[in-house]
A and B are shown apart, each in its own frame.
Chain A
């Protein structure tokens, strides 16, 4: 049976379990962007995020016999990805190796039409620049949750399920992250 783009994750997962490389390719295509952007939110370096998310897919394929088609595929993949990203940060720290982050450049302004007051726009741009630097400097576990909420627009329940923590912890990490960001915004006023 041929794989089509409309196949559900569960149908594809069943084929992947049976060794179907074409079904795996469809899952990679479906989740490559999401996985690499979410990895970027943790490791802050685009090259490393692409590499780690790719490695997550490779490991997922290798561990396909443990894949449960009745459970969400991406949540399973994210657990592998997250483990790789945190291990990467831990190893970099242990080896005293500096990760080369994109700098605040991995966060950009959403493009809007012009027309706003230039002075106000300059102030907003400055606030964004400061906030991007502050997000870049957050502890990884707080940045992870903040990125999933603010930039991936997941609900608390989805974040909790994906990261594997209680909703209360999602909210407290978000509060802590935003408090640090508020302090950073204020420190420069």
Chain B
């Protein structure tokens, strides 16, 4: 199939959709009729697509019972409030944690432990901090470069 045929096919498919969904002009409808008259393969395609449309027009999405919505609304508002509460808790915990860490480091530096123990503990803490920063950075990168728009296949 050459590129001209592909263009024709793309155009034919677009016309079929527009006519099927009644979003076409009279000229487009005539254009599709003319195409179908000369292309039996497209005519066959067209009749199959019309059959699908006929069946889908008799279907709808099942609606949840009405009582679901009251609960839904309340829960959405409570969730928004809870999110603020969690943020405040996280900020408070972060400040307290950082202060405690600082106080602990100060007392640890002032302690009379042998130098090699201090070096080993310092190395352990720096390693753990690097690890945490690395994980957080990776998470942040994933979050900001979200590939959701690449289609998710089943």
Contact = CB atoms under 8 A, between A and B. Distances in A.
Interface of A: 21, 24-25, 28-29, 32-33, 36-37, 40-41, 46, 50, 54-55, 57-58, 61-62, 82-83, 86-87, 89-90, 93, 102, 105-110, 112, 124, 127-128, 131-132, 137, 139-141, 147, 149-151, 155-156, 168, 171-172, 174-175, 178-179, 181-182, 185-186
Given A58-B76, A171-B18, A110 B148 contact: no
B52 A181 contact: yes
A151 to B, nearest CB: 5
Contact of B80 (A50, A57, A147): A57
A46 B64 contact: yes
Given A58-B83, A175-B17, A182 B73 contact: no
B32 interface: no
B17 A131 contact: no
A141 B151 contact: yes
24 contacts: A32-B69, A33-B63, A37-B61, A41-B61, A46-B62, A55-B79, A58-B79, A83-B148, A86-B148, A90-B147, A90-B152, A106-B62, A110-B60, A140-B153, A141-B152, A155-B23, A174-B21, A175-B17, A179-B49, A181-B52, A182-B48, A182-B52, A185-B52, A186-B48
B13 A175 contact: yes
B14 interface: yes
A109 B56 CA distance: 9
Interface string B1-44: 00000000010011011101101000000000000000000000
B137 to A, nearest CB: 19
Interface in B70-108: 72-73, 75-77, 79-80, 83
A127 to B, nearest CB: 5
Given A128-B58, A150-B59, 5 more contacts: A61-B80, A83-B148, A107-B60, A139-B154, A151-B61
Interface of B: 10, 13-14, 16-18, 20-21, 23, 45, 48-49, 51-53, 55-64, 68-69, 72-73, 75-77, 79-80, 83, 146-149, 151-154
Contacts of B83: 58, 62
Contact of A140 (B23, B60, B79, B154): B154
Residue in B17, B57, B149 whose Cβ sees the most chain A Cβ within 10 Å: B17
Contacts of A93: 152, 154
